[in-house]
Amino acid sequence: MIMSIAITLHLLAIVIWVGGMFFAHQVMRPAAVNTLEPPQRLQLWVAGFKRFFPWVWLCIGIVLVTGLWMFFQFPKPPLFMHIMLGLGIIMMLIFFHVFFAPYNRLKKAVAEERWKDGGAALNQIRMLVGINTIIGVITIIVATAGKYFLN
Binding site for ligand HEM (CB under 6 A): 7, 10-11, 14, 18, 63-64, 67-68, 70-71, 81, 84-85, 88-89, 91, 136, 139-140, 143-144, 147
> How many residues can be counted in the chain?
151
At closest approach, how far in Å is the CB of 108 from ligand HEM? 30
Instruction: Give the span between the Cα atoms of 83 and 85, in whole angstroms.
Output: 5
If the CB atoms of residues 44 and 85 are measured against ligand HEM, the closer one turns out to be 85
Integer angstrom CA distances of residue 69 from 47, 58, 99, 105, 142: 34, 17, 26, 36, 19
- Minimum distance from CB of 50 to ligand HEM (Å)? 23
Choice between 20 and 102, CB closer to ligand HEM: 20
| CB-nearer residue toward ligand HEM: 82 or 108 | 82
| HSE of 139, CA atoms in CB hemisphere, 13 A | 26
Q: Which is nearer to ligand HEM, 37 or 75 (CB)?
A: 75
The distance of closest approach from Cβ of residue 8 to ligand HEM in the complex, given in angstroms and rounded to an integer, is 10
Taking each continuous run of H as one helix and of E as one strand, the counts in the chain are 7, 0
31 phi/psi in degrees, rounded to 5: -65, -40
Find the shortest distance in angstroms from Cβ 34 to ligand HEM.
Answer: 29
